């Protein structure tokens, strides 16, 4: 009998996707970073808004698909998004949330059970983790990963197309590459429009309003060598900054670096 | 009767492709540039070599597909390449040729009727005219076309993979673009591997051995503005330079800018 149980356990575990397993651990209260967790599975940025604002935000994403690529969306009040994961519960499965009131972050809970409302609409937006996997699979080095820090991010002078209360500048992330690598990175990320797609800029940071490449507005600085080119991608911090600036009475996002892990595979986001 | 003949003539002319019509005009002895002729049709670089050297040159192209993309090839001694054009005769249909002996250009005839041999093999290689059409169709400005001059070309420190007597540096062409245009140009030209494909370099000409961007080794200089990035593509001058350097007893190429016009459509070279 003992042998039989021991044999059954691995079988049961194998039936659960690593992404699903991770969500169950976060659901049980573990509030740690999702970096490196359930490799190969798509992680998403989270925006949860009252239905009253959801239409305008949805249009904002539609109008600004590079910083705000929607990979999943819930019905109002429904905490489940079956297309993104079996048994996914948006109220509990993200390791840590940020609750915003009137544009101020007021709490960082590990679940939303006491915050949930019947009018909340969840948006899940693509994240650069997915295209970084493809870049690394191609042998391209990712500087901030090599350095063990967060990707440097910058507010630009590129205005997003506004929608209702949602407006503001595009935020970009930066990865330095040698020229031939930069060309390859354009090709690879072009295949992934659902996770920011091709870069929006390269080579002349001052042209997009970045005065000092060594002073990112978010994340950590990384060195750019003399023989390298800084390459800039639209960044999922854009919608979070826009939501904060809109000063909605109530909104929820994920805490930076603690994302929603979905059952989608990164490789399946490639359009070709 | 006269009316009937007048009605038949346009019908007969319409049946002839503009590319075929152009070849017939060149065949009749008109030795002028092919720039802007038969727009939309693929123009090719020409290399005609004795069969003795054709195998090594074919391998050279295979090993260096970015500078030497083969779009057509003849059987030894056969002046026709039906896959590239109805009624195409490689001995007469190019406006002007260059005849090389022992590495020296000795003649620039308008046909090869007195030079033809039963052991000659023709290679037709893709040319940047095709991808420039796609760039312009996308609204990207091509500096040397705006300036009415030849594209600037440079010998680089990138060594081609040698094959038999064929060896030498890659020659590149340069087009300056604003950063977002450069990214778009990478995407567009990636779709055209048969005509040099994606750029080989951008932004740091010194890294590929170009000391002065204002002093091209072939073609004409064009201005690069402070807010632009020089983007470099592998160039069809590479095989011509390599053939000259090989100092074969006998070889034929086209005269620069006076290409073979084929019945292929540029848009059909797009792989996606």
Please tell me the predicted confidence (pLDDT) of residue B23: 97
Please tell me the predicted confidence (pLDDT) of residue A10: 44
CA neighbor of A158 nearest in space, from A62, A47, A243, A66 = A66
Q: Which residues of A touch B (CB under 8 A)?
A: 178-180, 182-183, 186-187, 190, 198-204, 207, 227, 229, 272
B30 pLDDT band, cuts 50/70/90, is: confident
Count of C-beta atoms within a 10 Å radius of residue A260: 28
- Residue B206 CB partners (closer than 8 Å, separation 6+): none
Residue B186 CB-density burial (10 A; 0-12 exposed, 13-18 middle, 19+ buried): buried
- Residue B40 CB partners (closer than 8 Å, separation 6+): B18, B133, B265, B266, B267
Q: How close is the nearest chain A Cα to the Cα of B231, in Å?
A: 10
B14 pLDDT band, cuts 50/70/90, is: low
A154-181 b/e with 16+ CB inside 10 Å = b? bbbebebeebeebebbbbbbbbbbbbbb
Computed over every residue of chain B, the mean pLDDT equals 93
A187 and B187 within 8 Å at the Cβ level: the answer is: yes
Mean pLDDT of B85-94: 96
**pLDDT score of B6 more than 80:** no
A14 pLDDT band, cuts 50/70/90, is: low
Residue A173 Cα to chain centre, angstroms: 12
B149-166 pLDDT, tens digit each: 999 999 999 999 999 999
A93-138 pLDDT, tens digit each: 999 999 999 999 999 999 999 999 999 999 999 999 999 999 999 9
- Residue of A178, A183, A207 with shortest CB distance to B186: A183
Strand ranges inside chain B, DSSP E: 41-50, 70-73, 97-101, 104-107, 120-125, 153-159, 169-177, 201-202, 229-234, 251-254, 260-265
CA neighbor of B220 nearest in space, from B254, B155, B170, B174 = B174
**pLDDT score of B121 more than 90:** yes
Alpha helices in A100-208 (DSSP H): 129-137, 143-146, 179-190
Token pair, residue A76, equals 């109002």
Q: Quote the CA–CA distance of B70 and B155 in Å, as a whole number.
A: 21
Q: Quote the CA–CA distance of B231 and B227 in Å, as a whole number.
A: 13
**pLDDT score of B76 more than 80:** yes
A136-149 pLDDT, tens digit each: 999 999 999 999 99
Asked if A270 and A43 touch (Cβ cutoff 8 Å), the reply is: no
Count of C-beta atoms within a 10 Å radius of residue A139: 8
Asked if A158 and A200 touch (Cβ cutoff 8 Å), the reply is: yes
Residue B60 CB-density burial (10 A; 0-12 exposed, 13-18 middle, 19+ buried): buried
A4 pLDDT band, cuts 50/70/90, is: very low
Please tell me the predicted confidence (pLDDT) of residue B157: 98
Count of C-beta atoms within a 10 Å radius of residue A272: 7
Asked if B183 and A186 touch (Cβ cutoff 8 Å), the reply is: yes
B204 and A272 within 8 Å at the Cβ level: the answer is: no
Residue of A189, A201, A203, A228 to mutate, interface with B, max B Cβ within 10 Å: A203
Token pair, residue B250, equals 């006998």
A218-250 pLDDT, tens digit each: 999 999 999 999 999 999 999 999 999 999 999
Domain architecture of chain A: domains with CATH: 2-27+40-126+243-267 (3.40.1640.10), 129-239 (3.30.2040.10)
Place of tokens 């996606």: B272
Residues of A in Cβ contact (< 8 Å) with B200: 180, 183
3-state secondary structure of B62: helix
Query: What is the DSSP code string of B143-185?
Result: HHHHHTSPPPEEEEEEEPPPBTTB--EEEEEEEEE-HHHHHHH
Residue of A66, A170, A177, A182 to mutate, interface with B, max B Cβ within 10 Å: A182
Question: Which residues does residue B254 pair with via DSSP β-bridges, in sequence order?
Answer: B97
Please tell me the predicted confidence (pLDDT) of residue A30: 84
B19 sits in which H/E element: helix B18-27
Q: Quote the CA–CA distance of A147 and A151 in Å, as a whole number.
A: 10
A21-55 pLDDT, tens digit each: 999 999 998 878 898 899 999 999 999 999 999 99
Place of tokens 């002729």: B37
The helix-helix angle for B237-246 and B51-63 (nearest 10°) equals 140
Please tell me the predicted confidence (pLDDT) of residue A272: 86
Q: Report yes or no for ipTM above 0.85.
A: no
3-state secondary structure of A127: coil
Higher pLDDT, B193 or A272: B193
B56-72 pLDDT, tens digit each: 999 999 999 999 999 99
Mean pLDDT of A151-177: 98
């Amino acid at each position: 009998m003992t042998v039989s149980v021991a044999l059954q356990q691995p079988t049961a575990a194998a039936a659960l996707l690593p992404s699903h397993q991770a969500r169950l651990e976060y659901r049980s209260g573990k509030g740690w970073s999702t970096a490196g967790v359930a490799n190969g599975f798509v992680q998403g940025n989270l925006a949860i808004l009252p239905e009253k604002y959801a239409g305008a935000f949805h249009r904002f994403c539609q109008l600004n698909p590079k910083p705000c690529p929607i990979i999943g969306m819930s019905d109002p009040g429904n905490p489940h998004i079956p297309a993104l994961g079996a048994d996914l519960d948006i109220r509990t499965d993200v390791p840590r949330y940020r609750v915003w009131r009137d544009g101020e972050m007021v709490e960082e809970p590990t679940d939303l059970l006491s915050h949930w409302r019947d009018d909340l609409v969840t948006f899940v937006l693509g994240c650069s983790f997915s295209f970084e996997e493809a870049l690394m699979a191609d042998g391209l080095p990712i500087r901030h990963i090599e350095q063990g820090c967060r990707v440097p991010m910058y507010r630009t002078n590129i205005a997003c197309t506004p929608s209702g209360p949602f407006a503001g500048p595009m935020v970009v992330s930066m990865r330095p590459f040698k020229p031939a690598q930069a060309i390859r990175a354009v090709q690879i990320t072009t295949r992934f429009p659902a996770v920011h797609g091709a870069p929006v800029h390269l080579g002349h940071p001052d042209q997009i309003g970045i005065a000092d490449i060594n002073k990112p507005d978010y994340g950590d600085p990384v060195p750019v060598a003399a023989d390298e080119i800084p390459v800039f991608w639209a960044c999922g911090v854009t919608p979070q900054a826009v939501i904060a600036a809109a000063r909605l009475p109530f909104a929820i996002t994920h805490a930076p670096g603690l994302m929603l892990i979905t059952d989608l595979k990164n490789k399946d986001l490639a359009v070709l």
